[in-house]
Amino acid sequence: MAAFFQQIVAGLATGAIYASLALALVLIHRATGVINFAQGEMAMFTTYIAWTLTANHGFSYWPAFAVTLLFAFALGLGLQRIVIRPIERGPILTTVIVTIGLVLIFNGAAGWIWSAEVRAFPSPFPNDTWNIGGVAISVQDVGTFGVVVVLVLLLAAFFRFTKIGLALRASALNPEASRLVGVRVGWMLGIGWGLAAVLGAVAGMLAAPTIFLDPNLMQAILIYSFAAAVLGGIDSPLGAVAGGLLLGVGLNLIGAYVDFVGADLRLPVALLIILVVLLVRPAGLFGKPVTRRV
């Protein structure tokens, strides 16, 4: 039984990482109806920034963390303003292809600048375990989970209690009306992209200590996050978090107890989840079903 709970705790930690990236995807999809395929690669790239700050420029962990978040915000904002804005109203295919272009650019650039070598990434948490009632809980996992919880709470507060948060929600809900009451919708979308990039950066920096840093760091995590976002409902922030945690725990348990799946077939399982949810309940667990007027 202890092993079972151990799997759940470990699953919650990886699930928190999926939740963070899934939240980034949802944030952008809610505001602009775009799925950013480059979300994972942006996260990977910003994680490299954190790595180079600590490894080559003498930063200690938390200052590097903070600087990286600032960088990520600027990156997201800049991308939205420069690359995404011109094609915002274009067909879906165009936006998909442009974000795929970003995938190639960030993946290639990371390899170009920092080489494809696998790097060790520092962790702010001690490599200890706590023993609670026979269940060994790694401090790393608890820290990962804690950081994401704090981040989500901060974000929720930001959206709920600040004026910019209100403007962000308004411009996602009804851009035209928001424009009429003086909200600068364009910049709000930019800020949304910036916040999404910040969420991604956090996911990357939390994932890198355990699975090591290389240019393909986020490829699988992105798929899990897609699955999480779809599972929770692609327009529901709460759903993204719940979906991420559910998926993290679920995949961990399936990997541990279903021999056929093991460690190798987790990606196909995520794919299966995406397909089944989209076919059976496209709105996800927490989303509102979309009705289309014909």
Closer residue to another protein, CB minimum distance, 69 or 137: 69
Pair 7, 252: CB distance under 8 Å? yes
The Cα–Cα gap between 124 and 122 comes to: 7
- Binds another protein (CB under 8 A): choice among 219, 238, 254, 281: 219
Closer residue to another protein, CB minimum distance, 115 or 162: 115
User: C-alpha distances in angstroms, 224 versus 21, 104, 113, 229, 243?
Assistant: 9, 19, 27, 9, 10
Closer residue to another protein, CB minimum distance, 66 or 149: 66
Build a one-symbol-per-residue string for 246-265: x at contacts with another protein by CB under 8 A, - elsewhere.
------------------xx
Closer residue to another protein, CB minimum distance, 75 or 183: 75
| Nearest of 151, 169, 163, 162 to residue 235 by alpha carbon | 169
| Nearest of 240, 220, 218, 221 to residue 230 by alpha carbon | 240
Q: Of 151-210, which residues contact another protein (CB under 8 A)?
A: none
In the chain, what is the straight-line distance between the N-terminal and C-terminal CA atoms, in Å? 53
What are the φ and ψ backbone dihedral angles of 200, each rounded to 5 degrees? Answer: -60, -45
Closer residue to another protein, CB minimum distance, 134 or 268: 268
228 binds another protein, rule: CB under 8 A: no
- Binds another protein (CB under 8 A): choice among 67, 253, 278, 285: 278
Q: Of 100-129, which residues contact another protein (CB under 8 A)?
A: 100-116
Helix axes 163-173, 185-211, angle to 10 degrees: 100
Q: In the chain, how long is the greatest CA-to-CA distance? A: 60
Smallest gap from Cβ 140 to another protein, in A, equals 26
Residues that contact another protein, how many (by CB under 8 A):
54
The Cα–Cα gap between 177 and 96 comes to: 27
| Nearest of 81, 283, 97 to residue 192 by alpha carbon | 81
Classified as helix, coil or strand, 118 is coil
- Binds another protein (CB under 8 A): choice among 226, 228, 235, 240: 226
60 binds another protein, rule: CB under 8 A: no
Smallest gap from Cβ 226 to another protein, in A, equals 6
Kindly list the residues in this chain that would bind another protein in the complex (CB under 8 A).
33-35, 37, 52, 56-57, 83, 86-87, 90, 92-94, 96-98, 100-116, 215, 219-220, 223, 226-227, 230, 264-268, 270-271, 274-275, 278-279, 282, 294
